[in-house]
Amino acid sequence: MTPAMAAPLLLLRDIHLTFGGPALLTGAEFSVGVGERLCLVGRNGSGKSTLLKVAAGLIEPDTGERALQHGTSVRYLPQEPDFTGFETALAYVEAGLSPHDDTYRARYLLEQFGLTGEETPGRLSGGEARRCALARVLAPAPDILLLDEPTNHLDLPAIEWLEGELKGLRSALVIISHDRRFLSNLSRTTAWLDRGTVRSFDRGFSEFETLRDELLEQEEMTQHKLDRKIAREEDWVRYGVSGRRKRNVRRLGQLHDMRRARREYRGATGNVVMAAAEADAAAKLIVEAKGISKSYGARAIVNNVSVRIARGDRIGIVGPNGAGKTTLLNMLTGLLPPDTGTVKLGANIQMVTLDQTRDSLDPATTLKDALTGNDSDMVAVGDGRKHVIAYMKDFLFGPEQARTPVAKLSGGERGRLMLARALAKPSNVLVLDEPTNDLDLETLDLLQEMLADYAGTVLLVSHDRDFLDRVVTSVIAFEDEGRWLNYAGGYSDMVAQRGHGVAARVGSDKSEPKPPTPKSKSAGRPSSPAPKQKLGFKEKRALETLPAKLEALRADVARLQKKLADPELFARDSAAFNQTAADLEVALAAISEGEDEWLALEMLREELET
C-alpha cells in the first residue's frame, strides 16, 4: 500500500471551537499522511495557529475528533517558545529528545544555526530563540512536524538552510508561513482555512492562489444569482401572491429559506485598502553616496561603498543577520553619518520610515489614538482627512477595536497598524525595514500592489525572497568585510548573476571560500563590456510611440471595464461576458508590458544623458 493510500498518521475531523465570541472553527478537518508536505494557509485571525495547536494536542476542541496513529511521534514549533526552567540552549534542545534519539544531532543542529549550546535561553535574541526552538523539534526527526511560522526572525542563509534540511527529512510537514517562496518550495498539498472550515487541495502552494481566486469568483457569482432570485421572489410576493393558495404558501416558504441562507452566508474577509499618501515629486537624484565607510571597533560594517539612487528606484538591501543592513540603510537616508565618505540627499525629499521593531507604538495607547495622534476622530491622510473608523476598516480593523490597547493586538495587527500610520503621511521616499513581518499573504499582496503604484522611491530591507522579486528593481547585497555590491533585478536575478544566494556571515577567525567575483565592480550599476553612447533608432522610435499606444490601451481597458460592469451581461450573453473578460486580461497585460518597456528605455535614456 502506497503512503497516499495508507491510513493517515493524524486526522482532525469536524473540529468546532469558540473562544467566547463568534465561532473560530466550525467543522474544520484535515489529515496528515506518511511523508505529507502540507501548508496550512488563511487570513490573519482565521484560526491557523489554533488549529495547529489542536493538531498538536495542546488545545481541546469544543467538539470533534483528533485521531493519532499509535506510536506516531509529533513535534510542534510554537511562535513563542517557552524556555522556562532551562539553564542552557543545549538543555532546552535535549529536553525534546526521546530516550532512543541521538544526542549528537542536538549539538549538530545548534552548530548549524550558529549557536554553541551554552547560551542562556532567556537572553537569546528573537532570531536565536527561533533557531534554538527549531533545533529542538528537528533533533528527534519525528513522524510529523507541525511548524508555526518557522522562518520568523530568520535571515536568508538560515531560511535557505532550513529549507534544504526540511526537504531531506522523512517527517511529514504541516507548515504555517507567510513566506511564499518557502511554502512553494516545500509543499505538495494545501489546506485553506477559510471562515471556520478547511478546504483541501492536492496541489502545492504555488498553484493554490489561482485555485482560491477561482473558487471565490464562483462563490461571488453564486451569491449574485441568489440575490437576483430573492429580488424576483420578493417582487412576486408584493404583486402575485393572490393566486393559488397552496402553491403560494410553498413559494413563500422557499423565499424564507433563501433569505435565511443569504443572512447566514459569511463572505470572504475583505481586503486591506492600501494606498500611500504621496508628496510632491522629489529631485531626480535621491541619494548619492561616495566612498562611505562605517566601522565599530575593528569590524568594518560598510567599506568604501558608492551608491546612486534615482527617483523611482526600488532598492532591496539583503544580507545575513548582523551584516549591517539597517546600518547601511540609516547611512543612505542620512540618519547615521559615515566615518569616511559623503552622503548627499536630493532636494524636496519627504521620507517616511517603517522600522522592524515596532518600538514607536506605545503599548498603552489605544488603536484610535495611535492613528489620530490625539483625541480627534479624524486621521490626516496626505493632504486630506478621513474618519478614524473608516480608515481602520481600510486596514481590516473593526469599529469595536478603536479603544483596544496596542498591547492587546496580535503581531499581524500591529504590523497593519504600523503600515496604516506610515502610509497616511505624505512621502516621496518610503524606507521599509522588514515590512513583511507578521503580515498575512493577502495583506502582502496589497502592499506589493501599493508599492508598484507608488510614484516615489522605495528602500527596502527584507528576508522575503518572493517579496523582493515582486517589488525591487535592484538589490544591494552583502559580500564580506563591509563590501556591498549592486545587482540589477530582484533576488532571483542577483542569485543568477553571482551564482549563489546570501551566505551566512563568518567571523574574522573563520575562513570561507570567496564567492565568484560578480560582474559589478561597485555598488553602482553593473558594468557592461561595451557601454552604449546613445539610443538606437528603434529605441528612440519606441520612446516616441509607446505613450500613445499605452493611452489607447487604457481607453480599451476603460471600455471593457464599463461593459463588464453591466450586471445583466453574464445572464444575457455568457459568451460575450467571458470574451470581454479575456480581452480585458490581454489589454491589462499589454499595458504592463508596455509600461515596463517604456520605463526601461526611459531609464536608459536618463543614464546616457547623465
Say if pTM beats, i.e. exceeds, 0.75.
Answer: no
Q: Is the residue at 463 inside a domain?
A: yes
Domain shared by 202 and 186, yes or no:
yes
Domain shared by 338 and 434, yes or no:
yes
At CA 93, angle to CA 89 and CA 95, rounded to 5?
115
Q: Is the dihedral of CA 20, 21, 27, 31 positive or negative?
A: negative
Which among 484, 507, 531 is the end of a domain?
531
Q: What is the mean pLDDT of residues 499-528?
A: 48
Domain shared by 36 and 126, yes or no:
yes
Domain shared by 121 and 236, yes or no:
no
Q: Is the residue at 253 inside a domain?
A: yes
Tell me the sheet residues that pair with 58: none
The answer on pLDDT for 540 being more than 90 is: no
Confidence category of residue 4, pLDDT binned at 50, 70, 90 = very low
Q: What is the mean pLDDT of residues 68-77?
A: 95
Q: How far apart are CA 495 and CA 450, in angstroms?
A: 26
Which among 506, 531, 556 is the end of a domain?
531
Q: Which region holds residue 517: left if phi is over 0, alpha if psi is between -120 and 50, else beta?
A: beta
Q: Is the residue at 185 inside a domain?
A: yes
Could you report the per-residue pLDDT of 456-511, keeping only the tens digit for each? 899 999 999 999 998 999 999 998 888 999 999 999 999 998 888 887 765 433 33
Q: Mean pLDDT in the chain?
A: 81
Q: Is the residue at 355 inside a domain?
A: no
Could you report the per-residue pLDDT of 390-412, keeping only the tens digit for each? 888 888 788 888 888 888 777 67
Domain shared by 325 and 186, yes or no:
no
Tell me the sheet residues that pair with 147: 77, 175
Domain shared by 399 and 494, yes or no:
no
Q: What is the mean pLDDT of residues 516-524?
A: 39
Query: How many structural domains compose the chain?
Result: 5
3-state DSSP assignment of residue 572: helix
Which pLDDT value is given to residue 523? 42
Domain shared by 462 and 597, yes or no:
no
Confidence category of residue 108, pLDDT binned at 50, 70, 90 = very high
Half-sphere exposure of 6 (CA within 13 A, CB side): 12
Domain shared by 137 and 65, yes or no:
yes
Q: Is the residue at 269 inside a domain?
A: no
Domain shared by 146 and 41, yes or no:
yes
Q: Which CATH number does the domain housing residue 311 bear?
A: 3.40.50.300
Q: Please state whether beta strands 474-478 and 314-318 pair in parallel, antiparallel, or not at all (unpaired).
A: parallel
Q: Is the residue at 2 inside a domain?
A: no
- What percent of the chain has a predicted confidence (pLDDT) above 70? 80
The answer on pLDDT for 84 being more than 60 is: yes
Lowest average pLDDT, out of 200-209, 355-364, 501-510, goes to 501-510
Domain shared by 182 and 44, yes or no:
yes
Q: Is the residue at 3 inside a domain?
A: no
Better-scored residue on pLDDT, 338 or 392:
338
- Residue numbers of the domain that contains 246: 220-264
Domain shared by 320 and 448, yes or no:
yes
Nearest partner of 489 among 525, 455, 535, judged by Cα:
525
Which pLDDT value is given to residue 13? 95
Q: What is the dihedral of CA 158, 162, 165, 170, to 10 degrees?
A: 170
Domain shared by 436 and 517, yes or no:
yes
Which among 398, 425, 452 is the end of a domain?
425
Q: Which CATH number does the domain housing residue 585 bear?
A: 1.10.287.380
Q: Is the residue at 603 inside a domain?
A: yes
